[in-house]
Amino acid sequence: MVRSNQTSMVTEFFFSGFPKFEDGNLLFFIPLFIIYIFIIIGNLIVFFAVRMDTHMHNPMYNFISIFSFLEIWYTTATIPKMLCNLVSKKRTISIMGCLLQMYFFHSLGNSEGILLTTMAIDRYVAICNPLRYPTIMTPRLCTQLSIGSCIFGFLVLLPEIAWISTLPFCGPNQIHQIFCDFEPVLRLACTDTSMILIEDVIHAIAIIFSVLIISLSYIRIITVILRIPSAEGRQKAFSTCASHLGVFLMFYGSVSLMYLRFSATFPPILDTIIALMFAVLAPFFNPIIYSLRNKDMKIAIKKLLCLQKVFYASAS
């Protein structure tokens, strides 16, 4: 679906990253729909389990609950449109809709990245400076860090989105992806696209900086844990970090594959798989990791489910 008149302005984009065979689209729609429902329910359970259990009201679980809340909207920015495109022959999105999708998807992703960095610092203070932890990570500071992560994540992208909104789009309108993203959209602009390299460098610096902070924090944490004399103490310390480390590896691993490749090009099918990894599969596994790898979270979830059963029993 390409515009034949190069001078006419494009008003919508066409997604070409979806499967080519129409009859098999339902095979993709059903698993994606089930995964999306699981992501919403799973993260809601984690969020409310932390909020409704007073024993979970500490910095680590507070950050986890906010991360789960962000995951709900992070996936909602892209997956519902993917589902619509799988059952629609049109598979288009307006330019304004595309800009909004990019803004919310990447703003929420940025907020999650900042929050993961904050969580790594929190674990560093808790394990490396346990005596000073209560005075450093106060409830007020945790609230400020949580709110600051979200505000900064949303504000930092405004100039970039505002700049893209001023670009003319007058040629091909095929986005070779399953959702709107910076690089495929910028390639469609009828102007100098040398800014794509600058965009890549800015994104790479932000990703590498966050990865370095988290990696250095965990190197220091592991060093301290290995010095703990008792095996029980080491196991307990590792268990508090294992879930966060798993989420960090999954989140930044998939993001790095997508955005730390610069001019390297992948086959379209591989591009789609990588996009699904960080937009769908990482959010899918996060509630599983937090619930299965954490004893306190398991107890809190059981309490929440028991409360629901009592509520429905009394209501009936």
Identify each DSSP E strand in the chain by its residue range.
Answer: 12-15, 92-94, 174-175
Terminal CA-CA length for the chain? 55
46 and 287 in contact (C-beta within 8 Å)?
yes
Q: Edge-to-edge, what's the strand order for the sheet holding 12-15? A: 92-94, 12-15, 174-175
- Global pTM reads 0.87
- Beta-bridged to residue 12, according to DSSP, are 94
Residues 67 and 115 sit within 8 Å (Cβ to Cβ): yes
pLDDT surpasses 80 at 314: no
At residue 197, does pLDDT exceed 80? no
Specify the long-range contacts of residues 154-161, CB closer than 8 Å, at least 24 apart: 154/107, 154/110, 154/111, 156/107, 156/110, 157/103, 157/106, 157/107, 157/110, 158/103, 160/199, 161/99, 161/102, 161/103
Return the ∠ at Cα 298 (arms to 297 and 301), rounded to 5°: 85
| pLDDT tens digits along 268-299 | 778 888 888 889 998 998 888 877 667 777 77
Alpha-carbon distances, residue 118 vs 22, 64, 218 (angstroms): 44, 11, 12
Other CB atoms closer than 10 Å to residue 149's CB: what's the count?
24
Q: What is the pLDDT of residues 110-152, one digit of tens each?
A: 999 999 999 999 988 988 888 899 999 999 999 999 999 999 9
Q: Are 286 and 258 in contact (CB under 8 A)?
A: no
Contact assessment for residue 296 and residue 56, using Cβ atoms and an 8 Å cutoff: yes
Residue 250: CB atoms within 10 A of its CB come to 19
Ordered structural domains, the chain, with CATH: 12-315 (1.20.1070.10)
The position carrying tokens 């309490």 is 303
With CA atoms as reference, report the closest residue to 183 among 163, 204, 197: 197
Q: Residues 66-120: pLDDT tens digits?
A: 999 999 999 999 999 999 988 887 888 999 999 999 999 999 999 999 999 999 9
Nearest C-alpha neighbor of 280 from the set 26, 83, 22: 83
Nearest to 45 by CA among 61, 68, 76, 79: 68
Average pLDDT over residues 189-214: 80
